[in-house]
Amino acid sequence: MSTLDKIPVMLYGFGFIGRMLARALLKLKQYDIVGVIDINPKIVGHDIGDILGTGKTGVIVSNNPEKVIRNSKPRVILHATTSFLNQVFPQIKTAIEHGANIISSCETLAYPWYRYPELAKELDKLAKKHEVTVLSAGVNPGFIFDTLPLIISGSCLFVKRIKVIRKINALKRRLSFQRKIGLGIPAYMFDKLLNEGKITGHVGYAESAMIIAKTLGFKLSKIVEKQEPIIFNNKVIGIKGYAAGYSGKRKRIYLEFIASANLKDQDIVVLECENYKIRWVSGGTPGDQATISVMLSFIPTILKSESGLKTVADFIPFRTPVYS
């Protein structure tokens, strides 16, 4: 394959996920990394190969997104900066206005109509105007809590209820993840730091619930989200949180995430159908690897998608009929 046939890809954000994406992309003949954006002064101006330890690539980290996008003309931007759409909105907007398709790991962009309806509307309008596709996906939201149960719903006649539980051993995860869930802080500080947004825990419970509800036609009257610390010897050793989606008093969707020290990795997906129950259990799905795999896997799909702001549900072939 000549360089001309390669799909030009830009990385927006060169933290842990961005670097994993770069490592994978460098192994693939079909993609060309044409630009990398980050604001970290320690890496701006450096060749990404030096940062990754793979040898010079000629791609230099820049903190000037407009310039890089204009000059390198990426067809796809893999975006991995932060979890909150209000913070990343200007980044996504710049990318769209320069005609790039976007796959982002931003959790609240997975179903942005829930927390940021105005921004969602604007993004959709912009994406259509500039004829690009914007999608957020990763391990969660984007896979374990939504895509996978929705696919399994294809085998489940008349879905009544969906429950997903994801358990991970927090000690095996990278430091920034451990910080995000407050691992090791004194127990009394947890609520304060969570309320102040200094720790976030898992972000995107309700987004996954909304993706499921919209696809299955569940009319939810409310979604309850909650996160609490798991405590041992007055220290936070993990986090447990959930979203529960209700139709009236009936709990129809329950999504639980537990990350704790020395917990065994496991994902559990349970669908209650009309006359039977389907239960799938995994021995664990590595979070970061799955996130970059999902992001990379969606590239061909968004390149041929109609334009606009999409969710993973737009690409799931099953529309299981449900009793309303």
Could you list the residues that contact its own copies (CB under 8 A)?
Answer: 24, 27-28, 30, 139, 143-144, 147-148, 151-158, 267, 273, 275-286, 289-290, 292-294, 296-301, 312, 315-321, 323
Q: Closest CB to its own copies among 17 and 237?
A: 17
Instruction: Please name every residue paired with 47 in a beta bridge, in sequence order, or none if there are none.
Output: 60
Q: Closest CB to its own copies among 22 and 292?
A: 292
Residue type, 70: R
In whole angstroms, the minimum distance from the beta carbon of 2 to its own copies comes to 17
Q: 31: which residues sit within 8 A by CB, 6+ positions away?
A: 6, 7, 8, 9, 25, 299
Q: Closest CB to its own copies among 97 and 314?
A: 314
Q: Closest CB to its own copies among 158 and 188?
A: 158
In whole angstroms, the minimum distance from the beta carbon of 321 to its own copies comes to 5
In whole angstroms, the minimum distance from the beta carbon of 238 to its own copies comes to 22
Question: Are 203 and 106 a contacting pair, CB within 8 Å?
Answer: no
Q: Closest CB to its own copies among 223 and 296?
A: 296
- The span from the CA of 245 to the CA of 251, in Å, is 6
Give the DSSP per-residue string, 175-228. Answer: HHHHHHTTTTSBGGGHHHHHHTTSS--S--HHHHHHHHHHHHT---SEEEEEEE
In whole angstroms, the minimum distance from the beta carbon of 320 to its own copies comes to 5
Question: Are 86 and 109 a contacting pair, CB within 8 Å?
Answer: no
Q: Closest CB to its own copies among 192 and 277?
A: 277
In whole angstroms, the minimum distance from the beta carbon of 125 to its own copies comes to 22
In whole angstroms, the minimum distance from the beta carbon of 197 to its own copies comes to 29
Q: 238: which residues sit within 8 A by CB, 6+ positions away?
A: 170, 181, 183, 229, 230, 258, 259, 260, 261, 263
- The span from the CA of 8 to the CA of 10, in Å, is 7
Q: Closest CB to its own copies among 45 and 300?
A: 300
Question: Are 62 and 13 a contacting pair, CB within 8 Å?
Answer: no
In whole angstroms, the minimum distance from the beta carbon of 23 to its own copies comes to 10
Rounded to the nearest angstrom, the gap between the alpha carbon of residue 300 and the centroid of all alpha carbons in its chain is 18
